[in-house]
Chains A and B, each alone.
Chain A
Amino acid sequence: MYKISFPHMGNYYYAYKPMLLLLGGEIIVPPPITKKTIELGFKHSPEAACIPFKYNLGNYIEALDLGANVLVQAGGGCRFGYYGEVQKEILKSLGYSFTFIKLTNKMNPIAMMKAFKEFNPSMKRTTFLHSLALTFARLYYLDKVENFVRINVGFQTKAGTYEATFKKFLNELGDTKTLRAVRSVGKRTLADLMKIEINKPKDVVRVGVVGELYVVMEPFSNFFLEKELSQKGIEVHRFVTVSSIMKDFFLKHFMLTLQLKHARPYLRRHVGAHGTESVAIAHRLAKKGFDGLIHVKPFACMPEINTMPALHKLSRDFQFPIIYFSFDSQTSETGIKTRLEAFYDMLMMKKDKLKSQNEN
């Protein structure tokens, strides 16, 4: 009997669950990421590996301890494509026995179907396509709902209403079996969210979050940075989601040209992985009049380091405050929170100063 497991990233497990079920077996959801996960991952990883590697490894170890025997890893882009092989060797040397499915460089539907078929020959091609469509539909609504919640959660009049609706949505989404069901759950949730009363001031402080995918999307790895900000009454915008990555992927050439157009004149050529997109978003936000930007990345993430000189220059040119966070297993939560608070205070002071200047 196959017991399939996978690493966590945000709430996306609810979206790609139908794909995992295709492998033919039961799914073992690894325990939610905690301090223990990162400690386990850190202990067995190479020291200079980036933080997503350590989180994934921690997830795998916890899942294997729960009895999983099939592990799935995706891949592509920067170092991410090479995670699979190294993680497999590390887990093997720890004495676990398991099957490892690497989807490295197989992140397109046809190659993925072949890989799945190889593992589970009884899978029908039509089932695969249906699950793929279901996954995309779930991703679409998940990101849509999450975006809505992220922007508005800081301004709810009754604490906890958004969170409760979102939790209900996740549970319902996990049980959907047809595209129609996904659509109705999504639409209903969005309508419910619209109804929730909010108290948003007109000149609210708006902040964007850009950076490396995993750290941006896994709230534990960035110490719940978005939550922290929204609790202070800041509107948090994030543009990198799994749906946006999918869009990049399928419209590759078109999206790359578009991003490069937005990133000019700070970048004239691509800098690898998601670097160009970070600069493109930053440039757009600066022009739109956002109040600040938060750039997050794992320690020593080369594509994002490539973007930093461009962001420094952009920040100088537009007088646009950008704060840089880099996360590692040794990063202290207090340090990040202090810097975040200082950044927040600075934004507020800047806003007040502008306001008084306008009044005079």
Chain B
Amino acid sequence: MNKIKIGIPRALLYHKYNILWSNFFNNLKNVEVVVSPETNKEIISRGSSLTVDESCLSMKLFIGHVDYLVGKVDYVFIPRMVSVRRGEELCTKFMGLTETVRNIFDNLPVLSYTVNKSTFRFEFMGMMRVALKLHQSPITAVRAYIIAHRKYKEHFEKRLVGQDNKIKNIDRTKPVVLIVSHPYTTYDGFFGMHISKILGEQGIELLYSDIVNPELAHKMSKNLSSDLYWTYNKEMIGAIEIYKPYIDGIIYLVVFPCGPDALVVNLCQNKIKNIPSAVITLDELQGEAGLKTRLESFADILKIRKSRTNV
């Protein structure tokens, strides 16, 4: 019997939930997961030609990745996330993602579920529905979910411990920079990872804002902003508060034009005055040389500051 192929685009929430999703589908019977490759030039150009030109870069990349999967898979898996904490929201692009994809690609079979904690629609129920749609027995589905969720948690804890260890064993002569960004920007193969690489070559230790205890981050984010209601942005600025004592600089990676980030980053820059920061805005027309120069000069500034304080 042929296996059902499920395509997962390597963009947006994949970077946050990849372990959960791929383990869930791999533990179902007769299901095979196909993940689109790392972002490349082809995907970027397809993505930006298919979307409205005002969409943010992450959205363009997402559509590019979906486009790669079209025709290669039986279903494309696109969850619809409205709210993952009670009383809070996510950016509305996650809410309209399935509809956007359905309207751009005609007759594309989409597997989707809704998570909306404000109206008591939970991830578990959504995933069960997806599994039933794939003709799985409920027992297999529950088992797959439990395994996937455990692995997801373990993986996250491991990364958290990893970052903690990094802070403990940090080289005191090297400047430490916190990259404040969404996981889908930070871990994107073409944009975020490239920036991490450049900074690493400059001899800078990197901490990531998405590796953070969410509960603590939510509590700490109150220090910077009382009204914020976007969950991921809350975690981002909570991370700044948590890692503040250990860092020498902040780099905000913002995609153009990101709605929530535009306001939040401005607020952070107004409130955090004693740590040097740089805002790197990414778009698909990025010039390599310009980016490199900016990052290098920021790194140089941090190094000079560090050497002065050490003396």
Contacts and interface: CB of A to CB of B under 8 A. Distances in A.
A358 interface: no
Number of chain A interface residues as a range? 35 or more
Contacts of B54: 299-300, 305, 326
A82 B103 contact: no
B98 interface: yes
Nearest to A104: B227
Contact of B270 (A49, A89, A308, A312): A89
Contact of A306 (B99, B254, B257, B262): B99
Contacts of A312: 103
Interface in B246-300: 254, 256-267, 270-271
Nearest to B233: A82
B258 A309 contact: no
B118 interface: no
Contacts of B254: 48
19 contacts: A50-B259, A79-B259, A81-B227, A82-B227, A85-B228, A90-B270, A104-B227, A267-B99, A268-B99, A269-B80, A269-B95, A271-B92, A302-B56, A302-B91, A305-B93, A306-B93, A308-B52, A309-B103, A312-B103
Interface of A: 46-50, 53, 78-79, 81-86, 89-90, 93, 102, 104-105, 266-273, 275, 299-303, 305-310, 312-313, 326
Contact of B56 (A53, A78, A85, A300): A300
Contacts of B267: 85-86, 89
Given A48-B258, A79-B263, A300-B259, A102 B99 contact: no
Given A48-B254, A48-B262, A306-B95, 10 more contacts: A48-B258, A79-B260, A105-B229, A267-B99, A269-B80, A269-B96, A271-B100, A273-B92, A300-B54, A306-B100
Nearest to A263: B99
A283 to B, nearest CB: 13
A303 B227 contact: no
Contact of A49 (B59, B80, B100, B262): B262
Most chain A beta carbons < 10 A, residue from B230, B257, B271: B257
A88 to B, nearest CB: 9
Given A86-B263, A306-B100, A81 B52 contact: no
Interface string B50-68: 0110111001000000000
B161 interface: no
Contacts of A270: 95-96
A169 B257 CA distance: 42
Contacts of A79: 259-260, 263
A48 B257 contact: yes
A301 B262 CA distance: 12
A313 B270 CA distance: 42
Interface string B95-134: 1101110111000000000100000000000000000000
Nearest to A102: B227
A306 B99 CA distance: 8
B309 interface: no
B226 interface: yes
A360 B267 CA distance: 65
A300 B255 CA distance: 12
A16 to B, nearest CB: 22
A46 B265 contact: yes
Nearest to A90: B270
Most chain A beta carbons < 10 A, residue from B54, B264, B267: B54
B278 to A, nearest CB: 15
B52 A309 contact: yes
A225 to B, nearest CB: 19
A199 to B, nearest CB: 40
Given A46-B265, A89-B267, A269 B93 contact: no
A269 B54 CA distance: 22
Given A86-B267, A305-B52, A269 B99 contact: yes
Contact of B263 (A49, A266, A267): A49
B92 A78 contact: yes
Contact of A275 (B96, B229, B261, B263): B96
